[in-house]
């Protein structure tokens, strides 16, 4: 099919499934905050918990933000693990509990103390010379998991079974890193009513698609991948196809393609699949 025709069809989907569909996505919660620093913090939590049904994710994030108050970034800067444990007692999101979230908040506090923001902490491992965001993600995860965890594990060693590891997977292990790539999309892409464009020092051209079951199915139908295993290699393959369509912003279409999968709007793909 013609690349120009494919781009025009995807642009139609991008225009159709935009800000009007925010309520179908966890990003609607950080969107409530006018300050970038609060969006950055709430986005970090919302994407960490972005597995399961959207309604369940939103309920869990809303519970956390009710604890954090009007200014979540201020709450994180002053986060006390002992008080946090009491405040988060009884919190459960599928197979993660209050201690997992508390340790993630403790990590976020240390990142902010060290560099001023989560974004600046991420930038320590980022280079424009890299082909994609993968090496920066590996660095971010490695450094995050090396931060102090003593308030939650007395010997200061993070067990292999620690629930917080689920929030911080690495491409080196073959993970799609769907939730971290989702966070990067929110933070890096220009503000289009969906994403925020807060981290302006990271190029959108380096992003990798946040691959989940919905996007991988749509990508397979569109012929963007022939792989069967949903992993980092598939994420790179799908991103490579999207980069041919928009080299400067390859994950531009992710939100729309994900809506097609979530809403089972398969009819939206028919004009694309029927292209000569």
* 190 vs 188: CA distance, rounded Å: 6
pLDDT the model gives residue 136: 98
C-alpha torsion sign, points 173, 177, 181, 184: negative
pLDDT the model gives residue 274: 67
* 273 vs 270: CA distance, rounded Å: 5
What would the DSSP string read from start to end of 29-46? Answer: TGGG--SHHHHHHHHHHH
pLDDT the model gives residue 151: 95
* Both tokens assigned to 29: 């919660």
pTM reported for the whole predicted model? 0.95
Per residue in 34-72, pLDDT (tens digit) is 999 999 999 999 999 999 999 999 999 999 999 999 999
- Find tokens 């002053």 and name the residue: 78
CB 24 within 8 A of CB 54: yes
Taking only the tens of pLDDT, the chain with its 276 residues reads 578 888 999 999 999 999 999 999 999 999 999 999 999 999 999 999 999 999 999 999 999 999 999 999 999 999 999 999 999 999 999 999 999 999 999 999 999 999 999 999 999 999 999 999 999 999 999 999 999 999 999 889 999 999 999 999 999 999 999 999 999 999 999 999 999 999 999 999 999 999 999 999 999 999 999 999 999 999 999 999 999 999 999 999 999 999 999 999 998 888 887 654
pLDDT the model gives residue 276: 46
CB 231 within 8 A of CB 212: no
Task: Give alpha helix (H) positions in 170-229.
Answer: 178-188, 213-221
What are the domain boundaries of the chain?
Answer: 3-273
* 112 vs 119: CA distance, rounded Å: 9
* Both tokens assigned to 71: 């200014």
Distance set, CA 96 to CA 73, 136, 164, 183 (Å): 22, 25, 8, 18
100 burial class (0-12, 13-18, 19+ CB within 10 angstroms)? buried
pLDDT the model gives residue 196: 98
CB 255 within 8 A of CB 207: no
pLDDT the model gives residue 235: 97
* Both tokens assigned to 55: 């309604």
Per residue in 213-240, pLDDT (tens digit) is 999 999 999 999 999 999 999 999 999 9
DSSP state of 93: E
Give how far the C-alpha of residue 184 lies from the chain's centroid of Cα atoms, to the nearest Å. 6
pLDDT the model gives residue 167: 97
């Amino acid at each position: 099919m013609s690349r120009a025709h494919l781009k025009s069809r995807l642009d139609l989907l991008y225009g159709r499934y935009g800000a009007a569909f925010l309520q179908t996505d966890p990003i609607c919660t950080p969107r409530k905050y006018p300050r970038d620093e609060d969006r950055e913090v709430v986005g970090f939590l919302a994407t960490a918990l972005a597995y399961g049904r959207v309604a369940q994710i939103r309920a869990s994030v809303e519970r956390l933000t009710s604890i954090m108050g009007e200014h979540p970034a201020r709450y994180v800067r002053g986060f006390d693990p002992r008080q946090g444990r009491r405040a988060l007692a009884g919190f459960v999101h599928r197979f993660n509990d209050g201690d997992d979230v508390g340790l993630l908040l403790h990590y976020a506090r240390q990142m902010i103390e060290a560099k001023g923001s989560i974004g600046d902490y991420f930038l320590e491992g980022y280079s424009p010379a890299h082909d994609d965001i993968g090496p920066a993600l590996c660095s971010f995860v490695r450094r995050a998991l090396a931060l102090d965890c003593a308030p939650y594990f007395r010997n200061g060693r993070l067990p292999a079974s620690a629930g917080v590891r689920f929030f911080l997977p690495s491409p080196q292990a073959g993970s799609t890193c769907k939730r971290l790539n989702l966070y990067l999309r929110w933070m890096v892409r220009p503000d289009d009513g969906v994403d925020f464009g807060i981290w302006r020092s990271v190029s959108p051209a380096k992003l990798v698609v946040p691959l989940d079951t919905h996007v991988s199915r749509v990508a397979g139908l569109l012929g963007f991948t022939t792989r069967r295993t949903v992993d980092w290699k598939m994420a790179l393959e799908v991103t490579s196809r999207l980069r041919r369509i928009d080299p400067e912003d390859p994950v531009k279409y992710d939100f729309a393609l994900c809506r097609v999968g979530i809403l089972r709007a398969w009819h939206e793909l028919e004009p694309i699949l029927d292209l000569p």
